[in-house]
Structure 1
């Protein structure tokens, strides 16, 4: 997970119009059986794309996202460009005291 987040955020900082001090936003959500990640930047003229060259000097970040994540995609809107991905995991049952919403205690 850390590898994917690092790669996608690095791509935003280096390749998007957010480079040079612009804004890059990272949002993570634990959705019980998967973690959803959004990285929002200012976009650029070209969309993120998979690089098929294994021996290339760079360009493997999105290839790793494609290989490791369960789902991913890119979309543009008024906030900028969002690259998102989801990584599945096997949930463990949490103790009742940590489950949400917590049951209301009698008064």
Structure 2
């Protein structure tokens, strides 16, 4: 399927989706990630993965106007790799949020909760990714 909530590709250990940059994208991403990780038997990382995907999709939604892509891979060793892409070429900036700020902590959260994270430019935009260790 190629609609906004359908899986574009899915095999054991790999899933890919694309969403329009609309308000429901974060909720849709959370649901798809949760359901897919349960299906893959990765219940131990569901909560942290959903939280970090929510942060990255929210960042894309706030700053980009085009489609948001989401990919998950669990077949590359004892880890889960998650990527969120959007058409904005500018990399996200980590910033120090003041105590009273309502935002600005998303990338700090990604950095502290993941094993590794980073960004890379794409042909049309960028990808922000994170990696989580899987229990084993």
Same fold (TM over 0.5): yes
What SS class does the counterpart of residue 90 from structure 1 fall into?
Answer: coil
Cα deviations by residue, 1:63-102 (Å, 9 ceiling, x for unpaired): 10000001111111214200011011212xxxxxxxxxxx
Higher helix share: 2
What SS class does the counterpart of residue 59 from structure 1 fall into?
Answer: coil
TM-score (ref. length: structure 2): 0.58
Cα deviations by residue, 1:26-60 (Å, 9 ceiling, x for unpaired): 0001134111011110015x421112125222011
Given that residues 119 and 126 in structure 2 are in contact (C-alpha distance below 8 angstroms), is that contact kept between their aligned partners in structure 1?
yes
Structure 2 stretches lacking a partner, 5+ long: 1-48
TM-score (ref. length: structure 1): 0.72
Q: Report what 1:95 is aligned to.
A: none
Q: Report what 1:11 is aligned to.
A: 59
| Deviation beyond 6 Å, 4+ runs, structure 1 | none
Of 46-55 and 3-12, deviating more is 46-55
Q: Report what 1:61 is aligned to.
A: 106
Are residues 1:28 and 2:49 paired? no
Residues paired across the two proteins, number? 86
